[in-house]
Structure 1
């Protein structure tokens, strides 16, 4: 597929998907989501060991394109979510590799959902998060309700969603919505440095960790113990674990192959 609304790159075991509509602050359209979904399949087939999500220009994503070039907004917004948004956010959640978000600018509406879908979120100091749905008579979607409430708690999720106030980078960090805040010009370099470390790590274990944490958020303590046991059994049979044991005995740094 030829991409016009996103850009896909794969180098050094790191895949990068860049939202590429800078003239519209990378606003989301059905066509963009079709391309995004295809790129996520390519991430898997390319054997990437980490994925970076970012935006072109001065914004990460301004949310749904309410005007659009030739698409506009459909009458049934729920069907649009089912057909375009949900397949992408669910595909990101189901990836077996870590995801790093590089929020190079504002992340608004469903753009916030995409940005916070990352396991590690690097945010530009001048950027902000905004749940702007109520401003146009809509409700948070694409997982925003879950992502914000699980990270910042019920009270902050309600404040953000009801009042539609910007949450700037330092506050987002304090609330646990993002992982790191860096100067604007350093966002992509910081994200890539993190991605490089993850790409050189034990990929099977890292993939299980991201899903294990997500599952634990909706599980009891006993259920989590069972999940940890099952994952540890699998991790203990990986070549990376055997390499780690050998490296420890030989007093050297392990070389993980993601196997």
Structure 2
């Protein structure tokens, strides 16, 4: 029987597929644990692509898996299972692409927004569905959403719990781009290939700098840039990039 998460390695690209299509890839405990393990395994690649099997990306928490939890139980699940899963994305030393092939709702929407680059099919929708059942956004949603779209749009999306179509999400800056459904696989493959051939060390430093920027003063951020640039400037990829520029050829980055 196929696992709840399918992992395929194609050269330097690790493709992770949520595999509960019969429930729109709803997140139960087993899936969350398998996904976290797969994401950590993907840290050894040069790019990770995360998508869903079937008609949807991820419909969020499997409510049948959360019934009967008391307050301590909710906290335990979020801290023990959701936090490691989200950190496995945000702290990955390589770019993580979300290929959103359909509905991304609740924690599923925020799983996508945790990724570095979100590419969605035009038919996809993003729904902060939490208030429909008397909850608040979790899985990092209260951090990712206002940072991407601003407070007013984040409030509207969370309070009203209405679907945000992929095109609107792209216009808002919630995601990178929305593409015709039939071109999603092609576009994601091209983006992944480009990133996999890029300067992996610089990508890791870039992620660290940008993800921490909202919590820093300008002075502190300038210091972060100087420190990380110093590290990147000693890399083989920097030397190769300069040589390629001077020789008017495409660089051949190795990630070192």
When normalised by structure 2's length, the TM-score is 0.95
2:55 corresponds to 1:92:
no
Q: How big is the shift at 1:210?
A: 1.5
Cα distance in 2 for partners of 1:138, 1:73 equals 15
What is residue 213 of structure 2 aligned with on the other side? 216
2:242 corresponds to 1:233:
no
Determine if contact 1:3/1:35 at 8 Å carries over to the other structure: no
Cα distance in 2 for partners of 1:8, 1:179 equals 24
2:42 corresponds to 1:43:
yes
Partner secondary structure for residue 52 of structure 1: strand
What is residue 20 of structure 2 aligned with on the other side? 21
Aligned length: 254
User: Is 154-163 or 104-113 further displaced after alignment?
Assistant: 154-163
Q: How big is the shift at 1:251?
A: 2.2
What is residue 138 of structure 1 aligned with on the other side? 135
Partner secondary structure for residue 193 of structure 1: helix
CA 1:73 to 1:169, structure 2 compared with 1: closer, same or farther past 3 Å? farther
Cα distance in 1 for partners of 2:11, 2:68 equals 39
What is residue 11 of structure 1 aligned with on the other side? 10
Cα distance in 2 for partners of 1:165, 1:3 equals 33
Aligned pairs for 1:191-210 within 5 A: 191-210=188-207
Cα distance in 2 for partners of 1:250, 1:138 equals 57
Partner secondary structure for residue 53 of structure 1: strand
Indicate which of 163, 174, 196 corresponds to 1:166.
Answer: 163
Q: How big is the shift at 1:189?
A: 1.9
Cα distance in 2 for partners of 1:189, 1:51 equals 16
Partner secondary structure for residue 225 of structure 1: helix
Partner secondary structure for residue 232 of structure 1: helix
What is residue 185 of structure 1 aligned with on the other side? 182
String of CA shifts for 1:147-177, please: whole Å, max 9, x gaps: 1110111111111111111101111011100
String of CA shifts for 1:186-233, please: whole Å, max 9, x gaps: 212211210100000011001111221111122111111001001100
2:58 corresponds to 1:61:
yes
> Where does the alignment leave 5 or more consecutive residues of structure 1 unmatched?
none
Determine if contact 1:74/1:80 at 8 Å carries over to the other structure: no
Q: How big is the shift at 1:72?
A: 5.0
What is residue 30 of structure 1 aligned with on the other side? 29
Partner secondary structure for residue 162 of structure 1: helix
Partner secondary structure for residue 165 of structure 1: coil
Cα distance in 1 for partners of 2:210, 2:160 equals 30
Cα distance in 1 for partners of 2:15, 2:208 equals 20
What is residue 104 of structure 1 aligned with on the other side? 101
Determine if contact 1:66/1:73 at 8 Å carries over to the other structure: no
Partner secondary structure for residue 92 of structure 1: helix
Partner secondary structure for residue 67 of structure 1: helix
Q: How big is the shift at 1:43?
A: 1.4
RMSD after superposition: 1.4
